[in-house]
């Protein structure tokens, strides 16, 4: 049996799958506006089960790393379909970044072989007054807006990313579980590049299972992990001393980055004494072909 601090680490695995991902560099006059644009552009994108995409903020990017020498944020947007990903990128950049004061949008995957004509589509908003230009070796469009101009790169790279990395935090108390989840999120965002945590604040309280027992749904509440059902169902997986379970879900550009995020997050979570167990969500191979075993990444 593997233990970290007071927590038992279950001998199980997270089940992962591939999704198409686009990566956007958002720049602005200051951190406030790049942050606002990033938050709005990644909204309503926690899970592809019910959201039109999965998206999140990867992190900050310094002025010496951006095409226009301004402060910025990097976001990632995921979808199963490349064509649907293009629609999401056009919609989110056009409605959430172009509308935000002082921002510009650049491709964050310049070496990707596959390209989506995102900026070329958005240029039409310029109603014929848009201008093609080049900036730091990138082909861009300058679209006139009431503030001045919105700069967007002509095309954006896309690649197959990794989605569905996860771990479950079992806690005696809600307060302890929430603190553990917050610590995990902080550690991942601080220490790991190329990943996002798509759920609100990086934390999911409503983990799901494939399908439904009673209704025609693609997914429903993961009832074996609901503390309120412990005494009502025979298949409960909630120990007697556990009253709160949180899930941390991780998407990333590659499998190793997701592994590192899970490792860092779990080690941060078990620092809280109320955390008694760590597990992971898997679906018997119904969701994806990749597996990350908890013992492998922690031993």
Domain ranges in the chain are 2-15+161-298, 19-159
Q: What is the residue whose two structure tokens read 């994806």?
A: 288
174 has pLDDT over 80: yes
83 has pLDDT over 90: yes
177 has pLDDT over 90: yes
pLDDT score for 233: 97
Cβ contacts of residue 265 below 8 Å, gap of 6+? 167, 184, 185, 187, 188, 248, 250
Calpha distance 51→41 (Å, rounded) = 13
pLDDT score for 14: 96
94 has pLDDT over 90: yes
pLDDT score for 181: 98
287 has pLDDT over 80: no
Specify the pairing of strand 156-171 against strand 208-210: unpaired
pLDDT score for 1: 83
CB hemisphere CA count around 184 (13 angstroms) = 33
Same fold, 2-15+161-298 and 19-159: yes
The answer to whether 142 touches 151, Cβ cutoff 8 Å, is yes
pLDDT score for 299: 85
The answer to whether 274 touches 42, Cβ cutoff 8 Å, is no
Burial bucket for residue 106 (CB in 10 Å: 0-12, 13-18, 19+): buried
Q: What is the mean pLDDT of residues 270-289?
A: 89
274 has pLDDT over 80: yes
pLDDT score for 87: 98
Packing angle between helix 255-269 and helix 174-191, nearest 10 degrees? 140
Calpha distance 286→291 (Å, rounded) = 12
Cβ contacts of residue 234 below 8 Å, gap of 6+? none
Cβ contacts of residue 230 below 8 Å, gap of 6+? 236, 238, 240
At residue 298 the predicted structure's pLDDT band, cuts being 50, 70 and 90, is: very high
Give the architecture-level CATH label for domain 2-15+161-298.
Answer: 2-Layer Sandwich (3.30)
At residue 263 the predicted structure's pLDDT band, cuts being 50, 70 and 90, is: very high
Burial bucket for residue 64 (CB in 10 Å: 0-12, 13-18, 19+): exposed
pLDDT score for 150: 98
CA–CA distance from 147 to each of 90, 95, 101, 122, 255 (Å)?
21, 16, 8, 17, 41
Cβ contacts of residue 46 below 8 Å, gap of 6+? 54, 198, 199, 200, 204
186 has pLDDT over 80: yes
Instruction: Centre a 10 Å sphere on the Cβ of residue 17 and count the other Cβ atoms it contains.
Output: 12
Q: What is the residue whose two structure tokens read 């602005």?
A: 28
Calpha distance 164→288 (Å, rounded) = 9
The fold of the 19-159 domain, in CATH, is: Alpha-Beta Plaits (3.30.70)
134-148 pLDDT, tens per residue? 999 999 999 999 999
105-145 pLDDT, tens per residue? 999 999 999 999 999 999 999 999 999 999 999 999 999 99
pLDDT score for 283: 78
201-233 pLDDT, tens per residue? 999 999 999 899 999 999 999 999 999 999 999
Q: What is the mean pLDDT of residues 40-59?
A: 97
Predicted structure pTM score: 0.96
At residue 265 the predicted structure's pLDDT band, cuts being 50, 70 and 90, is: very high
Instruction: Centre a 10 Å sphere on the Cβ of residue 112 and count the other Cβ atoms it contains.
Output: 18
The answer to whether 207 touches 168, Cβ cutoff 8 Å, is yes
Residue 276 in tokens: 């008694």
């Amino acid at each position: 049996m593997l233990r970290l601090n007071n927590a038992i680490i279950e001998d199980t695995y997270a089940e992962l799958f591939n999704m198409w991902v686009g990566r956007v560099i958002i720049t602005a006059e200051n951190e406030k506006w790049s942050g606002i644009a990033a938050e709005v552009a990644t909204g309503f994108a926690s899970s592809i089960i019910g959201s039109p995409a999965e998206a999140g903020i990867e992190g900050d990017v310094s002025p010496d790393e951006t095409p226009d020498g301004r402060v910025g944020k990097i976001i990632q947007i995921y979808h199963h379909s490349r064509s649907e990903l293009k629609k999401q990128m056009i919609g989110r950049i056009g409605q959430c970044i172009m509308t935000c004061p002082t921002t510009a949008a650049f491709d964050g995957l310049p070496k990707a072989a596959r390209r989506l004509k995102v900026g070329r589509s958005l240029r039409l908003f310029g109603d014929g007054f848009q201008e093609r230009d080049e900036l730091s070796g990138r082909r861009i469009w300058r679209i006139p807006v009431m503030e001045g101009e919105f700069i967007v790169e002509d095309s954006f790279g896309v690649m197959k990313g990794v989605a569905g990395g996860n771990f479950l935090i079992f806690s005696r108390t809600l307060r302890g579980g929430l603190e553990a989840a917050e610590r995990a999120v902080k550690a991942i965002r601080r220490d790991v590049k190329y990943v996002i945590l798509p759920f609100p604040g990086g934390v999911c309280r409503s983990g799901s299972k494939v399908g439904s027992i009673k209704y025609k749904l693609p997914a429903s509440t993961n009832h074996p992990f609901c503390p309120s059902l412990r005494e009502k169902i025979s298949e409960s997986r909630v120990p007697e001393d556990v009253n709160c379970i949180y899930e941390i879900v991780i998407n990333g550009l590659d499998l190793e980055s997701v592994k590192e995020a899970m490792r860092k997050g779990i080690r941060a979570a078990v620092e809280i004494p109320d955390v008694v167990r760590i597990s992971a969500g898997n679906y018997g191979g119904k969701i994806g072909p990749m597996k990350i075993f908890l013992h492998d990444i922690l031993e």
